[in-house]
Structure 1
Amino acid sequence: MKKLTTIIHSAIQSIDRRIMNRRAARAIIVRGDEILLMYTAKHHDYSLPGGGLEKGEDVISALRRELREEVGASDIVIEEYIGYLDEYRPSPRAKFDVVFLRSYCYRCAVKEDFTALSLHHREIGNGVKPVWIKLDEAIAHSEAMLAQTPSQMGISIQRETWLLKFIRTSMRN
């Protein structure tokens, strides 16, 4: 397995605390100079499609499930394992201080005959929707979001900005 990077959120003082471990699968879907991302209206930001593994679920099954739910994709081709990214961020749960999140990233292709989305209640409330956007535009937008104060951005913006830049430099066709 190839480690891409480690990101430690600025609010984390120490990673030697009460840690909640999570794993996630993320899809990199590029079409020319565009990338398929999830737009979140609440935070006005973009992220790769994907999400956390459910209990007993393997990474590939989670990736396929997330693409069906978030994008409405039914014809999914997992082309290549890219690597994983480790992230330490504040925990929303009182019994943990830190969330350790390992995101496994895969280059994928999807047939664009998308069906209805099956978003979670929180995703619907946050105004999440799939969009095709120019990769450079998504990076510029994410960098502008990072320049704002932390209270105005989602917690995943550092990870997503790093991944978008990685995609631009190492994976663009």
Structure 2
Amino acid sequence: MAFAAYIPYILAAVGTVYAGAAANANAKAQSQQMKNDALTARRVAGAREEQQRRTNRQRLAAQRATVAQTGFDPNTGSLAMLQVESAGNAELDALTTRYSGELQSLSLENGAATVRASGRNQQTSGFLNAAGVLGSGYARYGMGPRLMPESAQASFRQSELIAQKGGY
């Protein structure tokens, strides 16, 4: 059988390998962007946390100043407890801000891992499909006729001659 009969199978196999490699490259790029976004989310959360702490310090200082103007001792009794509770709540706010940024970052990192795995799977699928296409071509034009019973081989050769002459 002429080599020309294998060309469509070879081209199809190369195409599936190329498509799988392109999908993998695209997934790697998308994954890298998601990892960069995760790092940015972490940095933004850190900046917001620091901003929250600055705002809280100013608010607590204003609270202490207001209490001091009234003549009460802010370091004793219920005023001291109020300040401790306010400081605790302020710190909880700052930590919650960081936590939400960490959750966003982890979500992006998990998405990046999923995208990378998908790209690897698509590349593997491309290789497997290429092997299937080449095996199909080999079975059809290479080994296929030899595996057929004698009567089927004659019919196969006849259909090949008709196909080469432009029949069907």
TM-score over 0.5 for the pair: no
Higher fraction of strand: 1
| TM-score between the two structures when normalised by the length of structure 2 | 0.17
| TM-score between the two structures when normalised by the length of structure 1 | 0.17
